[in-house]
Amino acid sequence: MVFKTNKVKFFQLRLKKITSKNLIKISRKIKKIAIKNKVKFLINDKPLIAKKIGADGCHIGQKDMNYKKSRKILGKNKIIGITCHNSKNLALKAKRIKANYIAFGSFFKSSTKKSPFKANLATLHWAKKKINMPTVAIGGINDSNYKKILSNGADFIACSNYIWNNKKLDPVSAIKKFK
């Protein structure tokens, strides 16, 4: 889920250990909810499924299908975001190939995705000045650290574990904590 304050702008479906058939089934249901709530719907890693279900786009990591193939599948009007970890070179490449947004992370320890890459606030400052494209911060973001990320240059924050696996709050209440 990607948002700025407590308004969800994008919903990225990231289900790694699921069959394509089940992913399509779930994606179709979520797409209806996203449309109803005027939220852009992205599929993680799977541009073919994003195209098949008519998602607004996809997010690709460095080990997923490359941007050129993803763009060919999705067409020029769909959103494609690229994970850049903590790399300025990857961010510059993403800008050069005309990705719609870049994502940096992990900023904090995350139980959703183990990552050897540690991004920092200086990377966000640099991206704001040099890249000038939408930037998403990922990794361990919650209600106590998101303001620091947004005030240092991220356009959006991505939250997963804090929303979906919160032992104290249901997902709607967790989202409302982001003001």
CA distance 74 to 55: 9
∠ CA 62-5-156, rounded to 5°: 20
Mean pLDDT of 151-175: 91
CA distance 31 to 102: 23
Bridge partners, residue 157, by sequence: 3, 137
Is pLDDT at 117 greater than 80 in this prediction? no
Is the pTM higher than 0.85?
Answer: yes
Is pLDDT at 2 greater than 60 in this prediction? no
- Give the CA dihedral 11, 22, 49, 91, nearest 10 degrees: 50
Number of domains in the chain: 1
Give the pair of three-digit tokens for residue 15.
């289900």
Q: What digits encode the pLDDT tens for the residues 42-85?
A: 999 999 999 999 999 999 998 888 999 999 999 999 999 999 99
Q: What is the CATH number of the domain that holds 8?
A: 3.20.20.70
Mean pLDDT of 114-134: 87
Domain that holds residue 18: 2-176
- DSSP states along 65-123: S-HHHHHHHH-TTSEEEEEEET-HHHHHHHHHTT-SEEEEE-SS--SSS--S----HHH
Q: Hey, is 7 helix, strand or coil?
A: strand
